[in-house]
Amino acid sequence: MSESRVDRILGILRRRGGRVTSARRGVISALVDAPGHVTADDLATHVQATYPDVHLSTVYRTLEALERLGVVDHTHLGHGRAVYHLADEAHQHLVCEVCETVLEVPDTIFAGLASELHASYGFTIRPSHFAVLGRCAQCSASDAPR
Amino acid sequence: MSESRVDRILGILRRRGGRVTSARRGVISALVDAPGHVTADDLATHVQATYPDVHLSTVYRTLEALERLGVVDHTHLGHGRAVYHLADEAHQHLVCEVCETVLEVPDTIFAGLASELHASYGFTIRPSHFAVLGRCAQCSASDAPR
DNA sequence: ATCTTTGCAAACTTTTTGCACCAAT
DNA sequence: ATTGGTGCAAAAAGTTTGCAAAGAT
């Protein structure tokens, strides 16, 4: 049933002159099955359960290829690691700085900000790329230091 | 004239049991003189013009100390490097993905989003930490690919 | 005298790249 | 037969850390 989504993406890939390999099939189906925000490493681990020889660098290269096709997008959470997700899920990440929980919220919540920035500065935001940091409800409640 | 800002920060540092060293004086005055968004490396270069022996790792440690004091904040622009600025400049960074220009906008523009997120999710944002990616006016006009 | 900070070098983390081999079309 | 993709190992890039020496209080 998630089969079709994988095949749809493989179709896009093939149609644009790309080749369908087991590594790519694995990465795409890992993305489809993913809980939402996954690092390249997470994906590699997931893929390696089925295809043990798929190397992390191949995962990065596959993700890069899929991003060029507009199928995948990535976001930077705190530190340095990026998280990837399918581009058709238009959402934003809210990352709690205290408990590291990632909350997904619909993209529409950025509409107001987007139009304001566009009107005032002519700047067109692409919100999907970055996470918003702050504190989730629980961690706001417990008044932790700093 | 920017002397006073440097001294004010050094005062905070001293009052909280920190020691005032030439490396720290240099980093702080580099921050005060900074055009806005500076990387640790930029700061190191700036400081080294006056104190050649100040090491990059010392700059990182100084920035960390200043962040703990709430005097400095950092933000992640695209790739991986962080940019630092004095915390009293409450502003957001808009980074153009095409020309890499960084636009600073007042924090107040996030007020609407902040209250919306707070109301809907109980999430308290700290907008100063992350940059917003998108396209500046010029680069939006020239309809570049992708 | 004490306790912080520093310089250096080395470790670390995440991502990228060069290259020869392999495989999808 | 092509040409694009892969595994591997090594390089980048940015930041952090252990340690002994230097410095601020």
**Averages of pLDDT over each 10 residues, chain B, 146 residues:** 82 95 96 87 96 97 95 81 83 77 82 89 79 81 54
CB-based contact A131 B133, cutoff 8 Å:
no
What pLDDT band is residue A146 in, cutting at 50, 70 and 90?
very low
- Indicate the burial class of B10 (C-beta count within 10 angstroms; 0-12, 13-18, 19 or more): middle
Closest to A134 (Cβ–Cβ): which among B76, B126, B133?
Answer: B126
Name every chain B residue with its beta carbon within 8 A of the beta carbon of A97: 126, 129
Distance of C1' in C23 from CA in A70, Å = 25
Q: What is the pLDDT of residues A112-145, one digit of tens each?
A: 888 988 999 999 887 666 677 788 888 877 654 4
Name every chain A residue with its beta carbon within 8 A of the beta carbon of B122: 136-137, 140
Cα A25 to Cα A10, A59, B134, distances in angstroms: 7, 11, 31
- Spatial distance between the Cα atoms of A31 and A119, rounded to a whole number of angstroms: 36
- Answer for the pair B82, B128: CB distance below 8 angstroms, yes or no: no
CA A131 from chain centre, in angstroms, equals: 10
CB-based contact A122 B136, cutoff 8 Å:
yes
Strand order in the sheet with B38-39: B38-39, B82-86, B72-76
Report the pLDDT value the prediction gives residue B146, as an integer from 0 to 100: 38
List the structure tokens of B125. Answer: 């944002």
The mean pLDDT of chain A is: 85
For A103-118, b where at least 16 C-beta lie within 10 A, e where not — what string? bebeeebbeebbebbe
- Spatial distance between the Cα atoms of B72 and B129, rounded to a whole number of angstroms: 11
The whole-angstrom distance between B73's CA and the closest CA on chain A is: 12
CB-based contact B123 A131, cutoff 8 Å:
no
Distance of C1' in D12 from CA in A142, Å = 41
- Spatial distance between the Cα atoms of A82 and B124, rounded to a whole number of angstroms: 22
Report the pLDDT value the prediction gives residue A127, as an integer from 0 to 100: 66
A100 touches strand C (CB under 7 A): no
- Spatial distance between the Cα atoms of B93 and A44, rounded to a whole number of angstroms: 33
Q: What is the pLDDT of residues A31-61, one digit of tens each?
A: 999 877 899 999 999 999 999 999 999 999 9
Cα B21 to Cα A50, A91, B9, B10, B61, distances in angstroms: 56, 46, 13, 9, 13
When pLDDT is averaged across residues A93-104 and rounded to a whole number, the result is 77
Distance of C1' in C8 from CA in B60, Å = 14
Report the pLDDT value the prediction gives residue A143, as an integer from 0 to 100: 54
Closest to A123 (Cβ–Cβ): which among B112, B121, B137?
Answer: B137
- Spatial distance between the Cα atoms of B92 and B89, rounded to a whole number of angstroms: 9
Least confident of A1-5, A6-10, A49-53: A1-5
Report the pLDDT value the prediction gives residue B15, as an integer from 0 to 100: 95
